[in-house]
A and B are shown apart, each in its own frame.
Chain A
Amino acid sequence: MPSNWNTRYTLLDRLKNDDDQEAWEDFKAYYDPFILIMLSKFNIAHDDKDDLVQEILLSLWKSLKQFKPDENRAKFRTWFSQIIYCRSMDFYRKKSSSDKKVESLTKDPTALESFTEPEIEKIFQKEWEAHIVNVALENISPMFSGKAIDVFKMAMKNTETNTIAKSFDLKTNTVIQLKNRVKNRLVKEIQTLKSERELF
């Protein structure tokens, strides 16, 4: 877990403040794409996603407003994944009771119900980690030339240094340094994202 308490506490503080429109925008930007990823893991129909994402975001926010750092013993991932799961289930229950045409929904809730709680937490963690790594890579990409990022990706896939050097017309030494430079920056960015987005 990240050690940067200051940042976390501030973001939480900001979220607790009703008037902080910016905090809400940040919050939305941080979690919106990820919630979408999770919903597609639950096989949720495309048409419903947008409404559901809004509901989940609101629910997360409400929950955070009552959040007290010292009292809450729950893990971030447990808290987050449960809200996603519960809201999704609610959404479908509500929809199927109000809407009698269950045809389009039948397969989704069953799929949703088939997940156990630890499974959901596991899926959440897996997707969350991948998501953070991807966002970090996206964030640092503009700082490097496309070549550097490509070299790094190839190196990560355990392609032999000589092969990379040849296909990019570089010296082996350079390939190693490029890889390390991008990797160090990436790891740093990942740490920043973790402390920024894993609220507790």
Chain B
Amino acid sequence: MTIASDDFGHEFSELYQEAESENCESLLNYQIESERYEIHEVVASGGMKNIHKALDKKCERTVALATPKQDIDESFYDVFLREAKLTARLDHPNIMPIHDLGLRETGQPYFTMDLKSGDSLATIIQKLADGDTTYLQIYNTAELINIFIKICDAIAYAHEHNVIHLDIKPENIQIGHYGEVLICDWGLSKIIGEADYDSLDEALFNPDLLNNLTQHNRIKGTPGYMSPEQIDHKHPKSKQSDIYSLACLLYTLLKFKAPFSGFSLDETLKLTSEGRIPYLKKFPVALNAVINKAMARDPEDRYESVIELKNELKNYTNGYATLAENAGLIQEAKLFVKRNKASSTIILISLILVTCLTLFFIGRLQGKIDQIKSLHAVSEMNRDEAIGNAQKAREAEGLAEERLGEVQKSSEQIKKLYWQSIRNYSDRFVYQTPAISMHQAISQLNELKELYPNDAYLNIQLIYNYFICQKFNEINQLNRNPELVSDLVNLSEKYAPKLKQNGLLTPHDFAHLIREFTINERYNLAEKMLSYYHERNSHADLLPVVTAILKLWNPQWDQQGLKYDPNQHHLTLASNDIKNLSSPVHYLHSKLTILRFLKVNKLSFYEVQGPQIAQINDLKIHTLDLSSSSILPYNELGKFRHLEKLILNQKQFKLWKQMYPKSLLKVTVK
């Protein structure tokens, strides 16, 4: 016993005398209804509840009735009720509907659901693993993936309502005899973000606080399906936790056993929290890639949404390359042929046919020509026939050209796919993972260039992408055709000598370069360049560059009123002319503020009416001082997730109190 807890006993020995309190309050809302249900045998049993078969005498039908196990402490009842209420809010064909919620004569709460005939997915997987032929016939890979996609739909729906399930596993998925897929057991689920329920909070319903513990204090979750963050709590539980579990489920569906099965509980927990990913031998690269991505150790590296995961899988089933696969040209071509088996075969056969026909006609033509030659002198009677044959040869040639065109068309499609991938890298991913995205974009562009050395547009793209990385020397070495990007080519020539040893300009020179941009299209380019620069050279003082970009975006700004204290990380904005704190080009833009490249803990606005706070709410600031501005504190402030302290003036504070009387934010009034 520790000294601290010793003190506790002495300090609060009055607890010794205290009487036990009554039942949990949340039960008071319900009335005892003992007549309605006739409870039969237990059909299933979960962590803290039993599910009985029961006859609903009112509706004369059989239902499934869930009620806490006998030995479950009353203090856990409101968790039980919460599951029922939360599930009842979710209305989706693939989520088990809740019919009724009430109290039994024993005082225990219950809720009722459909009693489904059918198997749990766990049973099905067991049968498949045992090699049951009937099951293998019904549940082939395509059907299993179909089931999985339905599960994804239901989870995506729940996520849209800010509910995360946190216990996705085969045991919690019911498959009806007619192929219905139902997700049950939302006992561990949790509401994220700003829920309507004030009381539903992380700590209160933290699964390790309640659900994962039986009365005997053992982990009750499902090893092999739990995400690393559910074990080590290094990251908050999020939608990505469900995505991790979905990937485990996908693995199980393909392999008929859970990831890490065969390991002990402790080993599984350890492997999971280390971020190990089981490898699917003999399975398509694409599926492995999807599972790898969805089971990444760091939630940020997983798919952004369940929809994205689902689409990847659909891509796979439809024969397209998945994003996670990082497909090269050959892989894309393979997949293209694979998913266009019929047309590819036709094209091949036609090619052979056309070649044979052409050769045949040419041969025949040659014969005819010889014949004509020999006969010409003798008679011109055969002339018409000769002309007719020549006509046929021309027709054959035309046909050959047409077929060739078709072949070219399919390679055009591959090229199109390639372009799509390059654009994704250089227009979208560049803001989040600049170095790796630019590496991918440039290497794919170079691959394409080998195939189409004379493509002018390719050159332009290469110049643009090199420019993002400040690879001016590479641009100068290109055989270039500077239309559209002549400004970039000229700037490359000018700035190449100024590159430092690390292949980058100094922030000062970088800022100069940005000030030379003249056309609007360069608004986003500047941000991409800074994004790349920041990742490569994160310790540099980026204030001059940020200022130059702000000037680029706000040409009317006199460059006064932006102050940054690098020691305090305090940024002061005192100008009404900085209207655009994020890119004014609303196409393929990052949607983030450029100020994110400065480390800002405190942000103060002076004499400012704008700019809209919405533009900067992704900043990780701790302190926001609005007191010297006329900005009104409104809704957007909730989006500053790191905000701890708000400084307001009297007027603003009055408004703030009216609007958010319950806010916990520390507010200082000036």
| A139-179 interface (Cβ within 8 A of B) | 142-145, 147-148, 151, 153, 156-157, 162, 165-166, 168, 170-174, 177-178
Closest to B197 in A: A173
Minimum-distance CB pairs A-B, first 4: A130-B9, A134-B9, A129-B16, A133-B9
B27 shortest CB reach to chain A, Å: 13
Q: Mask for B577-609, Cβ within 8 A of A = 1, else 0?
A: 000000000000000000000000000000000
Binds B, one of A59-67, A87-95, A110-118, A187-195: A187-195
Q: Is the CB of B6 within 8 A of A178?
A: no
Task: Among B15, B203, B213, point to the contact of A142 (Cβ < 8 A).
Answer: B213
Indicate if A33 sits at the interface (CB-CB under 8 A): yes
Please tell me if B201 contacts chain A, counting CB pairs below 8 Å.
yes
Which residues does chain A contribute within 8 Å of B16, judged by CB atoms?
A: 129, 132-133, 190, 194
A130 touches B10 (CB 8 A): yes
Q: A134 with B18: in contact, given A151-B203, A178-B203 (CB under 8 Å)?
A: no
Residue B342, interface by CB 8 Å: no
CB of A181 within 8 Å of the partner chain: yes
Within 8 A of A (CB), among B17-74: 18-21, 73
Question: Is B10 in contact with A166, judged by CB distance below 8 angstroms?
Answer: no
Q: In the complex the two chains form, what is the Cα distance from A25 to B73 in whole Å?
A: 27
**B interface residues, how many (CB within 8 angstroms):** 31
Asked whether, in the complex, the Cβ of B203 is within 8 Å of the Cβ of A184, the reply is no
Q: Which residues of B contact A170 (CB under 8 A)?
A: 201-203
Contact of B75 (CB < 8 Å), options: A145, A181, A191, A194: A181
Give 6 A-B pairs besides A131-B9, A133-B15, A147-B203 with Cβ atoms closer than 8 angstroms. A126-B13, A133-B12, A138-B5, A184-B20, A184-B75, A185-B75
A194–B19 Cα distance when bound, in Å, is 12
Q: Which residues of A contact B15 (CB under 8 A)?
A: 133, 136, 183, 186-187, 190
Q: Indicate if the CB atoms of A184 and B21 lie closer than 8 Å.
A: yes
| A to B contact number (C-beta, < 8 Å) | 97
- Closest B residue to A191 by beta carbon equals B20
Contacts of B5 in A (CB 8 A): 134, 137-138
Q: Say yes or no: is B502 at the interface (Cβ < 8 Å to chain A).
A: no
Question: Given that A134-B1, A137-B8, A187-B18 are contacting pairs, would A173 and B198 also be in contact in the complex, using a CB cutoff of 8 Å?
Answer: yes
Q: Please give, as numbers and ranges, the residues of chain B lying within 8 Å of A186 by CB-CB distance.
A: 15
30 A-B pairs (CB sep. < 8 Å): A33-B1, A126-B10, A129-B9, A130-B10, A133-B15, A134-B8, A134-B9, A142-B213, A143-B209, A143-B215, A143-B217, A145-B203, A145-B206, A145-B208, A147-B203, A148-B203, A148-B206, A153-B8, A156-B11, A166-B666, A168-B203, A174-B201, A177-B204, A178-B204, A187-B15, A187-B19, A187-B21, A188-B73, A190-B18, A191-B20
A134, B203: Cα distance in complex, Å:
23
B199 contacts partner chain A, Cβ-Cβ < 8 Å: yes
A133 and B203 contact, Cβ closer than 8 Å, known pairs A33-B1, A184-B20, A191-B20: no
Question: How many A residues have CB within 8 A of the partner chain?
Answer: 42
Residue of A nearest to B1 (CB): A134
B-to-A contact residues, CB < 8 Å: 1, 5-6, 8-13, 15-16, 18-21, 73, 75, 198-199, 201-204, 206, 208-209, 213, 215, 217, 664, 666
Q: How far is the CB of A145 from chain B (nearest CB, A)?
A: 5
Contacts A151-B203, A171-B198, A173-B198: A133 and B8 contacting too (C-beta < 8 A)? Answer: yes
Chain B residues near A133 (CB-CB < 8 A): 8-9, 12-13, 15-16
Chain A hits for B10, CB < 8 A: 126, 130
Give chain B residues whose Cβ lies under 8 Å from the Cβ of A131: 9
Q: Looking at the assembled complex, report how far the CB atom of A155 sits from the nearest CB atom of chain B, in whole angstroms.
A: 11
Residues of A within 8 A of B (CB): 33, 126, 129-134, 136-138, 142-145, 147-148, 151, 153, 156-157, 162, 165-166, 168, 170-174, 177-178, 181, 183-188, 190-191, 194
| CB neighbours of B11 from chain A (8 A) | 156-157
Whether B204 and A174, one on each chain, are in contact in the complex, defined by CB atoms closer than 8 angstroms, is yes
A28–B597 CA distance with the chains assembled, in angstroms: 65
Contact residue among B9, B13, B217, B664 (Cβ-Cβ distance under 8 Å from A166): B664
Contact in complex: B208, A162 (CB < 8 Å): no
Chain B residues with Cβ below 8 Å from A156 are: 8, 11-12
A130 vs B9: C-alpha distance when bound (angstroms): 4
B36 smallest CB distance to A (angstroms)? 30
**Nearest B residue to A145, CB-CB:** B209
**Min CB distance, A76 to chain B, in Å?**
14
Interchain nearest-CB distance for A140 vs B (Å):
10
Residues of A within 8 A of B75 (CB): 181, 184-185, 188
Given the contacts A137-B9, A145-B208, A172 and B19 also touching, CB distance less than 8 Å: no
In the docked arrangement, what's the CA distance between A190 and B10, Å?
14
Kindly provide the distance from the CB of A152 to the nearest chain B CB, expressed in whole angstroms. Answer: 10
Chain B nearest CB from A52 CB (Å) reads 20
| Bound CA–CA A178/B16 (angstroms) | 20
Known A145-B206, A145-B208, A148-B209: A129·B198 in contact at CB below 8 Å: no
Contacts of A178 in B (CB 8 A): 203-204
Measured in the bound complex, the distance between the Cα atoms of B206 and A16 in whole Å is 45
Q: Which of A136, A144, A186 has the most CB of B within 10 A?
A: A144
Alpha-carbon gap, A134 to B209, bound state (A): 20
Contacting residues, chain B, for A147 (C-beta < 8 A): 203, 206
Known: A131-B9, A134-B1, A190-B16. A171 touches B209 (CB 8 A): no
A129 to B213, CA, bound (A): 28
Residue of A nearest to B205 (CB): A174
Residues of A within 8 A of B1 (CB): 33, 134, 138
Give the residue among A129, A157, A186 with the most B Cβ atoms within 10 A: A129
CB-defined contacts of A132 to chain B, threshold 8 Å? 9, 16
Q: Which residues of B contact A190 (CB under 8 A)?
A: 15-16, 18
A138-B5, A156-B12 as given contacts; A173 in contact with B199, CB under 8 Å: yes
**Assembled-state Cα–Cα distance A142/B12 (Å):** 20
When distances are taken between beta carbons in the complex, the residues of chain A under 8 Å from B12 are 133, 156
Q: Are B199 and A165 in contact (CB under 8 A)?
A: no
> With A142-B217, A171-B664 in contact, do A185 and B8 touch (Cβ < 8 Å)?
no
State A183–B12 Cα separation when bound (angstroms).
Answer: 11
How far is A130 from B217 in the complex, measured between Cα atoms in Å? Answer: 25
In Å, the complex CA distance between A142 and B217 comes to 7
| Contacting pair A185 B73 (CB below 8 A) | yes
Interface centre among A153, A156, A171 (most CB of B within 10 A): A171
Distance between Cα atoms of A120 and B637 in the complex (Å): 62
List chain B residues, Cβ under 8 A from A185: 73, 75
CA distance A96 to B16 in the complex (A): 39
Q: How far is the CB of B76 from chain A (nearest CB, A)?
A: 9
Residues of A with C-beta under 8 A to B209: 143-145, 148
- The interface residues of chain B lying within 8 Å CB-to-CB of A143 are 209, 213, 215, 217
Say yes or no: B9 contacts A172, CB within 8 Å: no
The minimal Cβ–Cβ distance linking B534 to chain A, given in whole angstroms, is 29
With both chains docked as a complex, state the minimum distance between the C-beta of B458 and any C-beta of chain A, in angstroms: 52
Beta-carbon nearest neighbor of B25 in chain A: A180
Complex alpha-carbon distance, A147 and B202, angstroms: 11
- Minimum Cβ distance to chain A for residue B104 (Å): 21
* Bound Cα distance A129, B14 (Å): 8
Choose among A129, A172, A183 the residue that contacts B664 (Cβ–Cβ < 8 A): A172
> Interface centre among B12, B198, B203, by most A CB within 10 Å?
B203
Least CB distance, A3 to chain B, in whole angstroms = 11
